[in-house]
Amino acid sequence: MLRSLYSGISGMKNFQTKLDVIGNNIANVNTVGFKKSRVTFKDMVSQTIAGGSAAGAQVGGTNSKQIGLGSSTGTIDTIHSTSATQSTGRTLDLAIDGDGYFQIDNGEGTVYTRAGNFYLDNEGKLVTGDGYYVQKLGGGEITIPKDAQNFTIGPDGSVSIVGAGGEKIDGGQIGIVTFANSDGLDKIGNSLYRESSNSGTPSAANIPGDGGTGELKSGFLEMSNVDLTDEFTEMIVAQRGFQSNSKIITTSDEILQELVNLKR
């Protein structure tokens, strides 16, 4: 069988994977705190037709002759670049201006997120849209008394509450963590990440703005870092790549058909 036939098949599979990733990026263009992904390819094993030779007394050296046997998916990376923030004017909307992740208790352990659209539950505890508790510095939940007149969240994550009688109440401080390799975090859905064996363990919770972490911006949300211009350009390249590899398969099939017809 022709090598080009199998090379074309491998190319089509890879570009299908690329289109899957691009489709997910575009679907999450307005998802708060979403980080886009990308696909890289690598060539597969090459078949050596003839080995190289060193230079001799009378002739020079020659290079080996190799034919590649297609491509495979190299990596699927998550790009954790900081994206633009959107002003909402809502106190419980928080954006991290720099590096770091919020700590979230999802009932099974601690997970992490960049999505700062938080809410209060019926007990006054700070939660995500799915009801998971936002962790404060030192552990535990942030609680706003039900009869509080007002509250604010500072750039350092400190929660300042004005009680029912006008007294000032310390509501704790929201801590954020960093990772040695944030690209190694695993996505688990709901805009949450989980540490992996390659991300490293999270740092001790830091006050926002300390330890290389970013400050918090109350009344803002970090939007998706998906750029539609880039995604549409990559989609065109992937589509043409898919078509070109399908053409290789068609051409290889026509050649095989000619070989079969030689018997007639």
Instruction: Please indicate, yes or no, if residue 119 is contained in any of the structural domains.
Output: yes
Of 1-5, 22-26, 129-133, 161-165, the range with the lowest mean pLDDT is 1-5
Which residue range is the domain that position 127 belongs to? 85-222
Q: What is the pTM of this model?
A: 0.86
Give dist(CA 136, CA 174) in Å, integer.
4
Statement: residue 1 has pLDDT above 70? no
Q: Please report the pLDDT score of residue 264 as a whole number.
A: 66
Instruction: Please indicate, yes or no, if residue 118 is contained in any of the structural domains.
Output: yes
Same domain, 91 and 215: yes
Render pLDDT for 17-26 as a digit per residue (tens, 0 to 9). 999 999 999 9
CB 80 within 8 A of CB 224: no
Instruction: Please indicate, yes or no, if residue 55 is contained in any of the structural domains.
Output: no
Instruction: Please indicate, yes or no, if residue 53 is contained in any of the structural domains.
Output: no
Quote the number of domains for the chain.
Answer: 2
Render pLDDT for 178-229 as a digit per residue (tens, 0 to 9). 999 999 999 999 999 999 999 999 988 889 988 888 999 999 999 999 999 9
Adjacent-strand bridge partners of 19: none
Same domain, 41 and 104: no
Q: Please count the residues of the chain.
A: 264
Same domain, 41 and 95: no
Instruction: Please indicate, yes or no, if residue 193 is contained in any of the structural domains.
Output: yes
Residue 117 backbone phi and psi in degrees, to 5: -85, 90
What 8-state DSSP symbol labels residue 69?
-
Same domain, 10 and 75: yes
Dihedral angle computed from the Cα positions of residues 211, 119, 82 and 110, in that order, rounded to the nearest 10 degrees: 60
Instruction: Please indicate, yes or no, if residue 59 is contained in any of the structural domains.
Output: no
Same domain, 191 and 113: yes
Helix (H) or strand (E) holding 258: helix 228-261
194-229 burial, b at 16+ Cβ within 10 Å, e below that, comes to ebeeebeebbebbbbbeeebbbbbbbbbbbbbbeee
Instruction: Please indicate, yes or no, if residue 57 is contained in any of the structural domains.
Output: no
Instruction: Please indicate, yes or no, if residue 256 is contained in any of the structural domains.
Output: yes
